Every structure is written in structure tokens, then in C-alpha cells.
Amino acid sequence: MIIIKSPAEIARMRVAGRYARQICETLAKQICPGLTTQALDDEAADLMRRLGVRSAFRGYRGYPGNVCISVNEEVVHGIPGARRIAVGDIVSLDVGVQADGFFGDTAVTVMVGIPDPEVSRLVAVAQEALAAGIAQAHSGRRLGDVSHAIEVTAQAAGFSVVRDFVGHGIGRSMHEDPQIPNYGPAGRGPKLQVGMTLAIEPMINLGGPEVRVLENGWTVVTRDQRPSAHFEHTVVVGEKAAEILTPAGVLERSS
Ligand code: MF3
Ligand code: CO
Ligand code: CO
């Protein structure tokens, strides 16, 4: 069952979404060669404490981090640790928070220094794929239109879409119905209705679509060890267009 949110609930999700995005962007700016992913996670904990929000991830099914940090061949759910970020890496940063009873969830992939041109194109296309999906998230469309737009964008660029992990509805829970695959036929699935809140999150691989989960039970990596990019926004379906609840570049002040 897809839960439609009232305008008052959407106002609260706007706040949660902006907190998530603010933390994500503040951390993204701190990424530099030599930094461990643990140091970035410590900073995330600090920011969340200062802003008075809770990590949506810490403790979720036993997840040990405050955020997910996935480097290069890591697709999603990278656990922060001793890995040091290096020049030429791409770093996917996924931030989820709970504030005032609602969740916000957003992710970006950051390039460190100047990556290989193909890798940098991968990152750009993953971001375009997210925008193409969001552009379908309005009334009169079906969920499959979102999925299809993402797939077409990635495939036209010669990249592949991860099929084993999907986007999701979001609200009073981090994961609500519906599941949102990043592939599939247009014109299928539930009709989108104003007030549906969705976390749309393409995971796009430079090589093949196959992934596996590491022994730690969390970190998803590409089977061919080639890089992967991930972008995510929480949005609300609108009459003519979606509203992004985790918009880029707002709320610069973090304290
Ligand atoms: N943020 C992820 C998502 O976009 C969920 C991460 S769950 C965690 O759905 F436990 F790994 F943090
Ligand atoms: Co996320
Ligand atoms: Co998500």
C-alpha cells in the first residue's frame, strides 16, 4: 500500500529532507585524498548531533555506520572504516535522517581530483538518470515511467543499471511501498498520485550490472570490480512536476 501524505506531512518531510541534504553536502565538501571513510562518518555523527536529527541508518538491521560511504567498485551500503580516499576515486555518500517523525534520504557521488574521463562520464550520467526519473514523477504517469526513464538514460550512454537494489517509498518509515526499480517497461505499475513520497536512487555501473555483497553482510560491490555511481533524492509527486524534498545547495549553515 502506497501512503499518500497530507500537505502538513509533506511540510515535515521537507524539513527532514533538507537536513539530510545539508549533511550530505557538508560531508561531500570535506572529502579529500587521505581521509578515511571512518573520519567522514565521525563527522556525520557530529553534524547530526548538532542539528538534532537521528541517523536513519545506524542500527537499521544492525547497520553500524551513521552514513553509507561507497568507494569506486562499492555500489551502495559501504560501511565506514579504515579505507583511505585517494586521488581519482569516486565516493558515493548516502545520508538518511529522521527528524520530527519523518525520514529524508539522499545520495551523491563525488569525484576526487580528476578521475578517468570514462568514470567522470559515469558520474554525470548517473546524475542525469536521477533527473530523468524525477522528471516522470507527476500525476498522469505510472511508476514504470520513472524506472524506464532511468534505464534508458543509463543504457543510451553505454552503462548498466543495478537490478538487485531499488528505490523506495519513504515517509514515517525509511522504506515504504512501492519498490522503485531503476529499469523496466514504461506505462506499467501503479499510477502516480499527488502526495506520494519516493526515494529515487539509480545505481549505475561502468561495466556489467552484476553485484555481490561482501562478507560484512552490507557492502555491495560490482562483480567485475569496475566503478559504480549512485545518486538519490527524496521527492513528492506533484500535479505537473515532482518537488525535490532534498534539494541541492540550500541551508549552507551547518551550526
Ligand atoms: N540509504 C539506503 C537507501 O537509500 C538504505 C541504507 S540502509 C543501511 O535505501 F542500513 F545500509 F544504512
Ligand atoms: Co539512501
Ligand atoms: Co533510499
How sure is the predictor about 254, in pLDDT bands with cuts at 50, 70 and 90?
very low
What pLDDT shows up at residue 253?
Answer: 52
80 contacts 94 by C-beta, under 8 angstroms: no
Residues with CB under 5 A from ligand 3 (ion): 105, 199, 201
What pLDDT shows up at residue 45?
Answer: 98
11 contacts 195 by C-beta, under 8 angstroms: no
Q: Show the cell assigned to 52.
A: 538534532
CB atoms within 10 A of CB 178: 17
What pLDDT shows up at residue 191?
Answer: 98
What pLDDT shows up at residue 255?
Answer: 46
Mean pLDDT score, 207-226:
98
Minimum CA distance residue for ligand 1 atom 7: 57
Query: What radius of gyration do the chain's Cα atoms show?
Result: 17
* Site of grid cell 536513519: 56
Minimum CA distance residue for ligand 1 atom 5: 57
Residues with CB under 5 A from ligand 2 (ion): 94, 105, 107, 232
Q: Which helix (H) or strand (E) holds 179?
A: strand 176-180
Ligand nearest to the CA of 24: 2
How sure is the predictor about 251, in pLDDT bands with cuts at 50, 70 and 90?
low
Phi, psi of 4 (to 5 degrees): -85, 135
Q: Show the cell assigned to 88.
A: 581519482
Q: In a 3-state reduction of DSSP, which class is residue 254?
A: coil
What pLDDT shows up at residue 18?
Answer: 97
Closest atom of ligand 1 to 63 CA is 10
Mean pLDDT score, 245-255:
74
Q: Could you tell me the distance, in angstroms and rounded to a whole number, from the CA of residue 2 to the centre of ligand 1?
A: 19
CA angle (107, 109, 112) in 5-degree steps: 145
Closest atom of ligand 1 to 60 CA is 10
0.95 cut: is pTM over it? yes
| Per-residue pLDDT reduced to its tens digit, 42-76 | 999 999 999 999 999 999 999 999 999 999 999 99
215 contacts 174 by C-beta, under 8 angstroms: no
What pLDDT shows up at residue 115?
Answer: 87
- Residue type for position 119: V
Residue 234's nearest CA partner among 252, 247, 220, 224 is 247
CA angle (181, 182, 186) in 5-degree steps: 85
Domain spans, the chain: 7-244
Superfamily classification of domain 7-244: Creatinase/methionine aminopeptidase superfamily (3.90.230.10)
| Per-residue pLDDT reduced to its tens digit, 149-201 | 999 999 999 999 999 999 999 999 999 999 999 999 999 999 999 999 999 99
| Per-residue pLDDT reduced to its tens digit, 81-131 | 999 999 999 999 999 999 999 999 999 999 999 889 999 999 999 999 999
